[in-house]
Amino acid sequence: MRRAGLLIVLAVSPLAACRGAASPAGGPDLTGLVQPGEILVMLRRVPATPAPGSPGASAPVPEFLVTVVQMQNGKMELRIGEQRPQGRAQVHASRPGDEFRNLAVEDLNADGRPEIVSTWTGGQLEVVEVLGRSPAGSWTTLLQNAGQIVEERRQADRSTAFWITSRTYEEEPGHPPVYQTHVYRWDGTAFSAVETP
């Protein structure tokens, strides 16, 4: 995925195969997020947001952890953990592609609340998934799509549009490949396709 001006924190090497009240280094509580025999590939701790009085303050997002775990079968999975009254709990898991590539936490729809955008590979395609937390507290998929090229482009209203380009395979024999780009913009509830000139 192409991004300009973003700081992306990614730990590529496995950190530990761990479970319990804390990581071996005394880090965040990973209970429910990493099971015995699994390898923690990436961990991102996101503080509670937004600040009182800022956009989105009417439905704040509590502190959460985002992990990418290599399961015992060798496949990777993204997991989200939050503190609940009974303790740390896994509240979402997804595996939109075959192999994990990257992750960022940023406000993509200009509502003052963080969304999670992860990229994966699936066959010869780049897969993008955007997750957002509803005011009711559940994490939902706001966009999941794939293409040969996936780009994020900031809009004038500070939201992000996704430009996804794929081969159509509609070319005549002996002619160069034909590609088509679809643009997905925030519509108030999800990222949906819009007409492009």
Number of domains in the chain: 1
CB 167 within 8 A of CB 178: yes
Query: Would 88 be classed as within a structural domain?
Result: yes
Residue 1 has what pLDDT?
52
CA pair distance 121, 158, nearest whole angstrom: 27
* Coil, strand or helix at 103: strand
Query: Would 4 be classed as within a structural domain?
Result: no
The parent domain of residue 70 ranges over 39-194
Query: Would 78 be classed as within a structural domain?
Result: yes
Residue 135 has what pLDDT?
81
As averages over each run of 10 residues, the pLDDT of the chain (197 residues) reads 41 39 60 91 90 68 94 96 86 95 94 94 95 91 96 94 95 94 94 84
Residue 51 has what pLDDT?
65
Residue 85 has what pLDDT?
82
Residue 31 has what pLDDT?
81
* Partners of residue 118 on adjacent β-strands: 103, 129
Query: Would 92 be classed as within a structural domain?
Result: yes
Q: What is the DSSP string of 5-58?
A: S-------S--B---SSS-TTS-S--TTTS-TT-EEEEEEEE--B--TTSTTTT
